[in-house]
Structure formats: structure tokens, C-alpha cells
Structure 1
């Protein structure tokens, strides 16, 4: 291995300093990748380019590496600079998908794997095996989503209410009031308790299955904040709050004042600082709106949303929801059956109607808890255990994710921001700073896949 050449390639920076929509951010944004996955994909691309430059045989990238390659080709000056370091112009050769080409590129992939292992060790499967990062989670995609499942359940609940009441009637007429009410409440409480134990165990098992995957295990603390809350507001609150705590921003009445414009080693903080340089005093609501549309924050949102959607639409997660809906549906049908039986027999039903309504409200509350349990509880506790032996107090991002908390002077400004921008996460696009760079790229110019490369 040519150590000197590899060090030059590895240290080659594809991003320009303080570029808000540079190579990495654009690559992550357009492909809905997380920060670490993007960083890893770029590193693997550099390894591939090293192999292309030093090998006399044809080498071929993975689908993920090819995406990075396509992106880099757009940045013509940067690509030329890299080829200068390689002392070789690496040409992109698209596949024509005919049989002869297929065999040639298949051989090139085998050569690439052999050379890679010889120089760098085992190829990370998330980059070299799977064409889509989400496939590395190895979750089965369900035939329908959570919204459709709720509609199916509601329809089944309505259609089956009367048949179930007829089925239960012989049993229900044997139980007098007020014993039925007490039995019913006790049964509801017991089954709900057992259900939550099932949910906890199943969620733990699901997270244990996917946590070791690269895109999950390397989520940044701020990505985990969004992963948990599904709201970009909390990420923004945390970033601004840390700048206040470090005395870079001062709270003046209901406005913020930048008192130290020195950039930090945190790209999100630097984005906020660059915005605030243009203002003497700025209300947090206005600052919040400017921040949330910036590409770097939108990229975080898109990358993590993709993971959430993959989990929420998986058979493994929807199985938990199915069990929850069936259990609460059957429990509530007992109450409805009692009401129908009482009406048919001319009995007083006021108490059981009230009890059933209360239990229905409780059921809905627990259903919402089950839907969010994986993200609010399982994810949090899982990463908290992993960080139990580290000094997280010195890392504000981990401290914010694990323990939360905002400064007292900042809290009054956050509350109206939450109310006014609750739906701000629905915003999409690259933001005003993206400019025309958010337009089309050469992604489709070489077809859906790439064959390999050659050199001059």
C-alpha cells in the first residue's frame, strides 16, 4: 500500500470551510443520509479512488460509493484536484446492462473486493453490500402503513361489535351490577399492564436487532433528539441554548444578542452564529424560522425521518401496534356488549356507559403511548445505558439528549416558538441558501447503476 498517497487522499477535503450547502451537506440532503453515514460513504469513496488509481485492473464501486462519485463529478474543480493528487484521471464508465458488460463489471467488483481487503480490510456491508442504507436494518416492509392499519381496525371494530355482543350475552347476563363494573375495571387494568410489558419487551428486542447497524449506532446526539421527538424545534432549542450557556448569545428581554461571534467546532452552532451576525437584536421566533430552513438542519431532519419511516412501516413494528389495537378493541367490546345487552333487556346502562367512555379514553392514551414508546423510552434508555460509563456531562449534545433542560432565561422565549412553529417540520426544500444548487444533478445521467472506472 502506498501510505503517502493514501494519506493525501484521506486528508483531501471535499468541503469548503463554512460552506452552508457544501458537498457533504448536499450529498446527505439529496439522499436522506445521516451525518455519520455520509461521512463513512465519503471515506469509502476515497478508498475506492485509491484502488482505481493504483490498480492496473478495472475496479467497480458499490451503489452507495457510486452515488458519492456522481456527486463529486458535479464539483468539477474539486474532482480535478483529487485526480491531480491521484496523478491519474479516473473516468466514470456507465453500464450498458448487456450480458458482456454485466460479466465484465461483475469481474471488476470481485477484483475491487480483493484489492480492498488487501489494502483496507473487510468492506463495511452498509456501504458495499446494500444499495439502500435502510436495507441494512433488515426490517421487513409491511404492505400497509400505520394510518391504513387504524382505518382497518376501526372498520373491524364497528362491524364486529354486534356479533361479539351476541356471543358474550349468555355470560354477561349472569353477572349482576355492580360486580360487573368492578370485574371489568380490574380486567382492563390487568390486561393493560400485561400489554405494556409485552410492548416493552418487544420494543427492546426490536432496538437490540437494529442498534448495532451503522446508521443507528452512530446517530449523533442531535439526530437522536429528532429521532425521539420527531420535531426539529427541539434540536434548534438545544443548539441555541448551549450558545446561551456558553455566553456567546445573551438574552435581552424577549430578544437575543450575539456577544461572541467566534466560530466553534460545531456546524449547527456556527450556522446560528452566522445568521445572528447580521442582526443586533433578533426575536427568537424570527431566528428560529431562519434556522429551521437552513440546509444543515433540514438535512438532519431528512436523514433521521427516513430511518423513522422505515421502522414505522416495518412488519416488526406494526405487529406491536396490531396486538395493541386487538387487545384494546376486545376490552372495549366487552363494555359495548354490556351496553347492548342492557338496552335489549331494558336495564339501566348509565354507569356502564360512563365507565366504557372513560376506559375508551384511557385506551386511546395508552395507544398513543405504545406508538411512541419505541422512540421516547426504548431508544433513550438504550443509548443512556451505552453512555453510562462515559463522561457525558462534558459533551453538551449528549447531556441535552439524555437529560434535556434549558436555561431559565431562555425558557420564556421557547414556549411561544413551540406554539408558533409546531408544524414547521413539515417544511421541505434546501432553504434560501441552497440556491440553484438544489436543482438537478447527474444522478440519472449514467443510468441507475455504474459499471466501473478506467484511467488515462
Structure 2
């Protein structure tokens, strides 16, 4: 599927991103930064390959923002590149002028806005680039267990299971008692996910 605005993408894809001429001691031998990717690698302590991937993904994300003007929640890696770009306001404004539109960086979105922006970003990415965003960078939204969710299930489920077995319900046929206990444990798990589960990946930024 062709891009909605190939001229816009080509402009953003080839636009020279700014950089700061600082010493990068995290590579061997140490050298001065000569590209946006070098600054990004130094700031995030990433590998050079990772910094390259993030920069490309940032350009794609910037294109989606410019194309739609919508609130899109990027992964924290892309947001790190976005913040680095914003640290050069003259260059950032020059790119905005070049594409003829403002790209607003909204901060401190609420949980629902972040979830909606995360899903919408993935949706538009696939529609424009004819593929899902990199899974390791921008995975689908799902419920992620926290360690204390499993602990809550054990704390609640074990005592109640023992009580059920020792109570008068123990007189029930095993064919009824065992499914009842299994259903109870399943209910505990669902409640724990709702209360303690994280409704977003840890990679999600707070901006959009």
C-alpha cells in the first residue's frame, strides 16, 4: 500500500537531524559525536546499531505525527529521540517550517490517553508502512503481570481452598468439588490481574 504522503515522508526521512559536538567515551576508541545517532547512543548508553534503529523509527513516528496531527504515544526509546530533537529548538522549528505544520509534544498524558495513543500509533504505522512496528520496540498493548499479582492469588487462594476442603463442602462428590476450587482460583487470578496487573507495557512513554 503506497504512503498517503510520500513527499512528506521523503522530506522527513532525509532531513539532517541536529547533533552536539561532544565527546563520547562509551565507544572504543572515544570520539566526538558527529551525528544525531551518536548523541542518542551516548545519552541512552545503547549500541550504535540500536541508536540507528531508534533514529529511523523516530523519523517514521515523526512522519505519522505530521501526517495525522493526532496524539500518538511512542515507546520510550522513540520518545528519547524526540526529546533529544526538541533540545535543538531552532533545528526542530526549521523542520516544522519545512513540512509546513507544527508537531506538538504533549506531556503527562493520562492512562487512557496513553493507551489510545499507543494503539492508534501502531494502527497508523501498519497502514502507512505496510507492516507492524518492530515488536521489540513497539509491542501490542496487553496486560502485564506484576510479581505481587501472583502473590495476591496465592495469599487469597490457598487459605480459601483449604477452608473449602475442610468445610462441609468436603462432603460433595470430587467431581463437583474440584471444578469449584478450580473456578475459585481462576476468579482470584482475574481479580489480581484487574487490580495489580499493569494495563500497559513498561516501554510506554508519558508523552504523545
The TM-score normalised by the length of structure 2 is 0.57
Q: Match for residue 21 of structure 1?
A: 33
Taking the aligned partners of 1:30 and 1:105, their CA distance within structure 2 comes to 24
C-alpha contact (below 8 Å) 2:65/2:103 kept by paired residues: yes
Distance apart, 1:2 and its partner CA: 0.6
Structure scoring higher RCO (CA < 8 A, sep ≥ 6) equals 1
- Structure 1 CA distance, aligned partners of 2:86 and 2:139? 23
Residue 206 of structure 2 aligns with which residue?
A: 450
The whole-number CA distance in structure 1 between the counterparts of 2:113 and 2:40 is: 29
Are 2:68 and 1:58 equivalent residues in the alignment?
Answer: no
Residues 45-73 of structure 1: per-residue CA shift (max 9 Å, x gap): 11111111111432221111001001111
SS at match of 1:123: coil
2:139 and 2:95 map into 1 onto residues whose CA distance is 26
Kept in 2, the 8 Å contact 1:94–1:449? The answer is: no
Match of 1:12 in 2: 15
In the TM superposition, what whole-angstrom CA distance separates every residue of 1:250-301 from its partner, at most 9, and x where no partner exists?
xxxxxxxxxxxxxxxxxxxxxxxxxxxxxxxxxxxxxxxxxxxxxxxxxxxx
SS of the aligned residue for 2:104 comes to strand
Q: Which residue of 2 aligns with 1:105?
A: 114
- Tell me if the contact between 1:63 and 1:128 (Cα under 8 Å) persists in the aligned partners: no
Report deviation, 1:107: 0.8
Say which one has the larger Rg.
1
User: Which structure 2 residue ranges, 5 or more long, are not aligned?
Assistant: 23-31, 141-203
CA-to-aligned-CA distance 1:324-380 (integer Å, 9 cap, x gap): xxxxxxxxxxxxxxxxxxxxxxxxxxxxxxxxxxxxxxxxxxxxxxxxxxxxxxxxx
For the 8 Å contact 2:74–2:205, the answer to whether it is kept is no
Write 1 or 2 for the structure with the bigger share of helix. 1
* Structure 1 Cα separation of the partners of residues 69 and 92 of structure 2: 21
Say whether the 8 Å CA contact 1:59–1:112 is kept in structure 2.
Answer: yes
The aligned length equals 131
Task: Tell me if the contact between 1:50 and 1:86 (Cα under 8 Å) persists in the aligned partners.
Answer: no
Q: Post-superposition shift, 1:127?
A: 2.2
Distance of 2:56 and 2:89 partners within structure 1:
19
Residue equivalent to 1:117: 126
Q: What does 1:216-365 correspond to in 2, within 5 Å?
A: none
Shift of 1:450: 2.4
Compute the displacement of 1:449 (Å): 3.4
Residue in structure 1 matched with residue 94 of structure 2 by the alignment: 81
TM-score of the superposed pair, with normalisation by structure 1: 0.27
Q: 1:77 Cα deviation (Å)?
A: 2.0
Task: Determine if contact 2:66/2:101 at 8 Å carries over to the other structure.
Answer: yes
SS of residue matched to 2:133 = coil
In 2, Cα distance between equivalents of 1:106 and 1:86: 28
Instruction: Output the CA distance in 2 between the equivalents of 1:10 and 1:449.
Output: 23
CA distance in 2, matches of 1:449, 1:117: 20
Report deviation, 1:44.
Answer: 0.7
Displacement after TM superposition at 1:122 (Å): 1.4
Tell me, in whole angstroms, the C-alpha distance in 2 between the residues paired with 1:32 and 1:64: 12
Q: Secondary structure at the match of 2:101?
A: coil
Q: 1:32 to 1:129 in 2, by over 3 A?
A: farther
Q: Where do 5+ consecutive residues of structure 1 fail to align?
A: 131-447
The alignment yields a C-alpha RMSD, in angstroms, of: 2.4
Distance in 1, Cα, partners of 2:51 & 2:40: 7
Whole-Å separation in 2 of the counterparts to 1:105 and 1:93? 11
